[in-house]
């Protein structure tokens, strides 16, 4: 798997996941919506740590900076 996420993309995903986690565990969001957002936050964290987003691949997207040769 080639990395297709740049550092800015990864940081934004981690921040969003942290915000959703805090909102869920403080009770601000709850119920079905809270569970769905918590699962999405987990996916954001996972993709941030491995640096690969499976949704970017079919569209040929990449937020990694271009390598200069």
Each residue's pLDDT tens digit, 39-64: 999 999 999 999 999 988 888 888 88
Rounded CA gap, 23 and 15, in Å?
12
User: Helix (H, G, I), strand (E, B), or coil: what is residue 52?
Assistant: coil
CA angle 15, 20, 24 (to 5 degrees): 150
User: Helix (H, G, I), strand (E, B), or coil: what is residue 45?
Assistant: helix
Among 28-32, 51-55, 64-68, where is mean pLDDT lowest?
64-68
């Amino acid at each position: 798997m080639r990395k297709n996420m740049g550092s800015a993309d990864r940081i934004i995903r981690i921040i969003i996941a942290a915000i959703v986690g805090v909102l869920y565990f403080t009770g601000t969001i709850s119920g079905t919506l809270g569970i769905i957002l918590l699962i999405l936050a987990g996916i954001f964290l996972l993709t941030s740590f491995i640096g690969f987003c499976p949704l970017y691949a079919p569209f040929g997207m990449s937020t990694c900076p271009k390598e200069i040769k």
